[in-house]
Amino acid sequence: MKAIVIRGYGSPEVLKYEEVAKPPIKPDQLLVKVHASSVNPIDWKTRKGMLSILTGNKFPLILGFDVAGEVVEVGSQVTGFQVGDPIYGSTSFPGGAYAEFAAIPENLAATKPINMSYQEAATVPLAALTSLQALRDLGNIKSGQNVLINGASGGVGIFAVQIAKALGANVTGVCSTRNLDLVKSLNADLVIDYTQEDFTKGNLQYDIIFDAVAKKTFADCRKVLKPNGVYISTLPIPEVILQSVLTAFLPGQKAKIVLEKPNSKDLIYLKDLIETGKLRTVIDCIYPLQELTEAHRYSEGERTVGKIAIAIVS
């Protein structure tokens, strides 16, 4: 099969389009013919070696977490899927989706939403699961609460706005001037243009501030966070880790870090939101697998609106 392989950490140029063997599957896995994947920041951060403490120095590696495709083989212990099923889901760390075939654990997959193409479905898992788990599990979001999403037009932010609305919150989205109309179309109640206004200096207070782009610190946000409000970041840097530990044992405001945990149950939940029209994706652009180098380069520019899809033709 064809795949994008790295044989060392580095710039986008280390991504090489090569012929490799199909991955063998374990008893609890599916072999999926991959129709599409997507680019998430964790993919290029892994490629650059920023997560080498987790990935080590064993090469070659095939990166990519998001998968949408068709089941072509099932492991002996698989009970929920059969050959021919259209699925979407996640690979195990550190990836494997940038290829014509991928081995997917059964408990990290779900049936693809019927109203999404493979390319659309492939942009959902990591980013939407991050949003859902941040707001529902860490934020304990409740209907009627005021929730702010910083980075509302980004890959995680587009889903966070819609999920917060689906869960009954009053949602404020923060983005740049050019994306105001997009975030309004996601049903945000209020949209703040960060080039014109700093939300941390405003008069509104929020029950949850989800910094989906990790651009504001807990300290920055405390003034506009309610006394028992929750600040959630996507970036596990030492400062935020320390704050999360300290605030966990103190009354009042909390700082938390979301680390996405892929699972079938939450993918099914997202599928239901998608099929009932409460959640959609926004695709900035689509690259063929052979042009993954350019897709990574574009993602690293941190100006992506929504998601970057990868079309994999086999």
Q: Give dist(CA 181, CA 196) in Å, integer.
A: 15
Amino acid in position 88: Y
Domains and CATH numbers, the chain: 2-124+281-311 (3.90.180.10), 127-257 (3.40.50.720)
Which regions of the chain are under pLDDT 50?
A: none
Range list of β-strands (E), 151-189: 170-175
Mean pLDDT of the chain: 95
Amino acid in position 220: D
Bridge partners of 101? 33
Structure tokens at 192: 């703040």
Q: What is the pLDDT of residue 314?
A: 57
Contact between residue 36 and residue 88 where contact means Cβ atoms under 8 Å apart = no
Which 8-state DSSP code applies to residue 141?
-
As to burial, measured by CB atoms within 10 angstroms (0-12 exposed, 13-18 middle, 19+ buried), residue 17 is: middle
Q: Which percentage of the chain shows pLDDT scores above 90?
A: 89
Q: What is the pLDDT of residue 313?
A: 73
Helix runs in 178-229, H state only: 180-185, 218-221
Q: Give dist(CA 69, CA 75) in Å, integer.
A: 17
Which 8-state DSSP code applies to residue 256?
E
Q: Is the peptide bond before 262 cis (omega within 30 degrees of 0)?
A: no
Range list of β-strands (E), 82-161: 86-90, 101-105, 109-111, 146-150
Amino acid in position 305: V
Bridge partners of 73? 31
